[in-house]
Each structure stands twice: as C-alpha cells, then as structure tokens.
Amino acid sequence: MNLIFLGAPGAGKGTQAEVVCEKYNIPAISTGNILREALKSGTEMGIKAKTFMDAGKLVPDEILIGIIKDRLNEDDCKNGFILDGFPRTIPQAEALDAMGVNIDKVIDIEVSDERIVLRMSGRRVCEKCGSSYHMQYKKPREEGVCNQCGGTLIQRKDDHPDTVKDRLSVYHEQTEPLKDFYLKQGKLCVVEGQEEVADTTKLVLDTVGSL
C-alpha cells in the first residue's frame, strides 16, 4: 500500500500519517527526514544536496527525487510507504511517475484556511520546558504561564498569523494543483478534517481500510 498524504500546513497530515504508519507497519517518509538521513549517511545524492543547502539554496528536484528513490528501495518499504511532504509540485509528481513509483491512493486532508489560522496562531509553547498549549483548546491554568514549570509561554514565529497565511498562500499556489493531478488519475481520496483529531483519524483509517 503506497500512499501520499496531502494537506495544507496545519491540517494535521503528519499526525495522521504517523497513525497509519503504526497501524499498517509501513514507514512514513517526510522530505525533511529524508534529507537529514541522506546528509548523515553521506550518500552520493546526500552530498550533492549538501552543496545546495550549505549555500542556502533549495535542493533541485532531480536530487531530491534521487534521494527519495534511494529511500524507497530500502527493505522497510517493500510492503508499502507513506510520502508526507512530497511531492509538493506538479513537476515533482510527474517525476515520481516517470521514476516508476506506483502510488495506490492520495489522501487529502481538507481543513479551511480560517480554521488552520485559528489552530496554529493559538499555539503557545513554554520557552523553558517546551510544553505546548492552545489558547482555545488547551489553555494553561494561568494565562501566559506554563502549568509544568512556571515558564513563560510564547508564540513561535512559525505560528504567527501572518506567517501561517504566507505558508498557506504558497500551498495554494504550488501544492494544491496536485489534487486535480491525482483526481484525473483516479487516486484522490478527500477526508474532511474534524474539530477533534480523533474524529479525523477515524475517517482517515476508514478511508485507508477501504482501499
């Protein structure tokens, strides 16, 4: 069972990918993790990627795809895998097809921009111990103070509303067209993200279980 998980930043696709990964004992492969592993192991593609990363440039698609191809050839992918965060663009998806990688289904987790902004901008993290809170869903006992250690709760830059909106804009421009790409291939399965993570998880597991 070879799957791709799609969804806007903050839609929770990473969390859902991990659940499916554990249930079906297949690896969840994220672009960030692949790059870190390739750099650490010093593979040919990893070394090529490092030259771009050290220069502060994006890793070209052909190198990134080469790294993914190497990863998918490892033994733990024989029974299937989940790609989380790749492909991000139509050219990457076309390259994946050209590489001969068979994708069974693409799970798209749909959450409105408004809910994502609310969800992400409400996050707070303790600058001392790293405990996480949410101003709507998981409030601290005392505003701005960590329940665990009494440290100050801060909003990370990535969770600032303007940053979230910028990331969503990039997603809609570059990644959202993948939905039509995979719809035309008959592979797209849409899951409506729910208020409760557990409810979304049930829908995702039901969808995957029906494949």
Catalytically annotated residues = 13, 88, 123, 156, 167
Is the dihedral angle over the CA atoms 68, 3, 196, 174 positive or is it negative? Answer: positive
Which is nearest to 178 in space by CA: 100, 107, 74, 98?
107
Give the integer Cα–Cα distance in Å for 207 and 191: 8
128-160 in b/e burial notation, b at 16+ Cβ within 10 A?
eeebebeeeeeebeeeeebeeeebebeeeeebe
Which amino acid, residue 87? Answer: P
Q: Are 208 and 199 in contact (CB under 8 A)?
A: no
Q: Which residue has the tokens 């039509």?
A: 180
Which amino acid, residue 25? Answer: N
Q: Are 150 and 142 in contact (CB under 8 A)?
A: no
